[in-house]
Amino acid sequence: MHGVIVTNFKRYLDEFIGTDAWGEVVSTAGLQGKTYLPVALYPDEEMEALLRAAESATGLRRDDLLADFGEWVIGPLIDMYQAMIPSGWDAMTFLLNMQQIHERILRLKDPTAMAPNILVHKRGDDTLEIHYYSHRNMAAMIHGSVKGVAAYFNETASLLGSEAGEGGEQRFVFHIQPNKTEAREAV
């Protein structure tokens, strides 16, 4: 797991349940004394342990926690990697290029690392179909992340449907719509 995800998970929990929560979550996860850096990679099992402990601390189910975190984390991630995103993009363009962006960022840290497979297809002017494949079983983050991307670009994403497949696969269909209010300046 990317350290930038783990460190942002800490920031998210600090904001969601308070700055003292991270120590409790790390302790409950059995990872006392562990320090996480945004530029390092960590075993997926550690993120799973942190998620289980955070479920307990927040009272949220794993998928709800991942979706909420996925929506929250998009702003900080886009701000961090803004140089990789051409100006003038909107939510639809960003999402259609999400796999390539994810792979480029991942390769900066570890050329051998494998990103989850996120296939995005346009289905009409304002509809996207997203297929998520990963052994990490974090598909719920897609639902939140798409909403976060849309909000970042001052647009709205509505989930039209989702369907679980086998082996960690999940399919989502989203309607993406620009908000009628003031448009966000280009990234």
Q: How far apart are CA 182 and CA 161, in angstroms?
A: 28
Amino acid (one-letter) located at 44: D
pLDDT for res 181:
56
- Mean of per-residue pLDDT scores for the chain: 88
pLDDT for res 186:
47
pLDDT for res 59:
92
**Within a 10 A sphere around the Cβ of 124, how many other Cβ atoms?**
8
For the entire predicted model, the pTM comes to 0.87
pLDDT digits (tens, 9 = 90+) for 149-161: 999 999 999 999 9
The two tokens of residue 185 are 């300046």
pLDDT digits (tens, 9 = 90+) for 40-93: 889 999 999 999 999 999 999 999 999 999 999 999 999 988 888 888 999 999
Contacts 24+ apart (CB under 8 A), 151-156: 151/71, 151/74, 151/75, 152/74, 152/75, 152/78, 152/91, 152/184, 153/89, 153/90, 153/91, 153/94, 153/184, 153/187, 154/178, 154/179, 154/181, 154/182, 154/183, 154/184, 155/90, 155/91, 155/179
Higher pLDDT, 185 or 9: 9
Residue 95 contacts residue 123 (beta carbons within 8 Å):
no
Mean pLDDT confidence for 119-136: 90
pLDDT digits (tens, 9 = 90+) for 10-39: 999 999 888 888 999 999 999 998 999 988
pLDDT for res 180:
65
pLDDT for res 71:
96
Give the pLDDT band of residue 123 (cuts 50, 70, 90).
very high
Conformational region of residue 29, where left means phi above 0, alpha means psi within -120 to 50, and beta covers everything else:
alpha
Tell me: pLDDT of 115 over 80: no
Higher pLDDT, 115 or 34: 34
User: Could you tell me which of 146, 149, 140, 147 has the C-alpha nearest to residue 170?
Assistant: 140
